[in-house]
Amino acid sequence: MRVRSGTMPLTLSIYVGRRFLLAVLGMQAGLTAIGSLFDFLDLLRQASDKPQATFGRIVVMEILRVPWLGMQILPFAVLLGGIFAFWRLTRSSELVVARASGVSAWQFLAVPVLCAALVGGIATTVISPLSAVMFARAETLYSMYLQVGSGPLSLAGGQMWLRQADPAAGPGGVAILHARDVHLKGKTLTTGHVTILRLDRHTRLHDRIEAQSGVLRPGGWTLEQVSKLRPDQAPVTMPSMRFATDLTVGRVQESFASPSALSFWALPRFIRLLKQSGFSPTRHELAFQSLMALPLLCATMALVAAGFSMRPARRGGGAQMLGAGLVSGFALFMLSEVSAQFGKSGALPVYLAAWAPAAAGLMLALALLLHLEDG
């Protein structure tokens, strides 16, 4: 007797979804614990020759990094948890009996896939803000105790470029600022040699400012030992001058902050600030799109897990299928890393770099399930 669509498939789907969700949460906890242990050992290794990095501070640092590690591990927890859950259901013949009674794989997979997408959505919208706050604090502690003398601007190689509107150069004028030996200590940003090119709306040079040093203060730069040059005029020197800017130390810190230290909700605003300040927003845009794609990636991993683990044991080749599932998960990981690197370098559009792994995995999963369902 074949079961009609209705209560029984829904009940079965909820049952499968519950088993799937418990397996994913258990796998997530286990993988996060293992990843945190290795990360903690690496922090201890780095702290071995730094007396100020005490054991207690390393423990606090690692605790603050746990949500971030969990976010990185989540897609693989969905894959491995799904493989384990579906393999257990297949081994106990529960899915075999359900399919023999006429229940389609698409029916009992609806709730597990929805659960996976929901987990990804919660991670993006709820866990991401918590992870960002804790990771930012962990990075601050890391810079203080494990990278003494470095700061957020070290990623720029000690140099900074800035492009901003400059009404003093005429309507539509812009100013391009280049500063060397940039240092950020607390709330004070100081630089060595500063060069400012002020251009009119037609990109003609209005004037050029050279200064031996500069300090960023609220409302503008304070430049010392300044030389001002205008086309066809003799240079003008002055001991100091003030150059107006809407840039603040806080915005500089945000600009150079790791995308992992910014939540899903904060990233769009910071991307706009980066663009207005002349900094490249590629890394932050990629992080934002990757968070957007996380629910789809988790749902894809659930489908991949089902496709590789629902082969009946009597047909043989179960171990090979499970191994193929693990290899496919690793391949998706490598694809996501490679596409992310291409995205950061600008070789690929950010949208393609962020969404391609999930789309590729989804096509693979659908092909497997169609083969499994229709033979």
Global pTM?
0.75
- As a whole number of angstroms, the distance between CA 101 and CA 107 comes to 13
The model's confidence at residue 344, banded by pLDDT at 50, 70 and 90, is confident
**What is the pLDDT, as a whole number, of residue 33?**
96
173 and 287 in a common domain: no
The model's confidence at residue 213, banded by pLDDT at 50, 70 and 90, is very high
- 263 in a structural domain: no
Average pLDDT, the chain: 83
Instruction: Say yes or no to pLDDT of 196 above 60.
Output: yes
- 275 in a structural domain: no
Q: Which residues contact 121 (CB under 8 A, 6 or more apart)?
A: 294, 295
* Residue carrying the six token digits 């932050």: 284
134 and 44 in a common domain: yes
More confident: 308 or 101: 308
123 and 183 in a common domain: no
> Per-residue pLDDT tens for 158-169?
578 788 888 887
Q: Is there a contact between 105 and 306 (Cβ–Cβ < 8 Å)?
A: yes
- Give the CA count within 13 Å in the CB-facing half-sphere of 330: 6
353 and 285 in a common domain: yes
Return the exposure string of 338-356: e unless at least 16 CB atoms fall within 10 Å of the residue's CB, then b.
ebbebbbeeebebeebbbb
> Minimal CA–CA distance to 184: which of 235, 240, 121, 252?
252
**What is the pLDDT, as a whole number, of residue 254?**
60
Q: Is there a contact between 47 and 145 (Cβ–Cβ < 8 Å)?
A: yes
250 and 108 in a common domain: no
> Minimal CA–CA distance to 105: which of 296, 312, 298?
312
Q: Indicate the number of domains in the chain.
A: 2
| Owning domain of residue 53 | 7-148+281-374
